[in-house]
Amino acid sequence: MLVCGAALLLFRIWELPADPRPHACGFLALTGLPCPLCGLTRGLCSLAKGRWHDAIRFHALSPLVFILIAGAPLTNAVRAIAPLPRLGEAERARCFLVLAALFLAYGAGRIAALAL
């Protein structure tokens, strides 16, 4: 099974068209389809520069990720001053599953939109 998978991957890489722009995403490079995370880095960089329209165009969930990244140090700073309730293991797992489902649904939607 592993040998068949490796052979298929090697064949797919061999058949890739010459693209002058290298892809950082292996999924995009192999399939030509965007993965659920494609464009997130460019979206976060655009948000950091205040370009909200560009950020949403690159990845619609980039504002959510930006808030989560920016909110973590803020939450830790507030916790140093006043005690805040912490999420339990089950709540953190539930939050992770919700975020993963959002990204998978967004990725599937982008792929479906390309098929139309």
28-42: pLDDT as tens digits: 878 888 888 888 988
Same-domain check for residues 4 and 24: yes
Express as a percent the part of the chain with pLDDT over 70. 80
Give 21's pLDDT tier (boundaries 50, 70, 90): low
Same-domain check for residues 107 and 53: yes
Same-domain check for residues 47 and 104: yes
Burial label for 17, CB within 10 Å (0-12, 13-18, 19+), is: exposed
Are 51 and 40 in contact by the 8 Å Cβ rule? The answer is no
- Is 62 or 114 the better-scoring residue by pLDDT? 62
Same-domain check for residues 55 and 94: yes
Same-domain check for residues 49 and 102: yes
Same-domain check for residues 20 and 67: no
Query: Count of domains in the chain?
Result: 2
What is the extent of the structural domain holding 41? Answer: 37-115
Task: Please tell me what DSSP assigns to residue 85.
Answer: P
- Is 10 or 57 the better-scoring residue by pLDDT? 57
Residue whose structure tokens are 């890739």: 16
Same-domain check for residues 108 and 55: yes
Give me 57's structure tokens.
């165009």
Q: What is the dihedral of CA 16, 22, 23, 27, to 10 degrees?
A: 20
pLDDT over 90 (residue 19): no
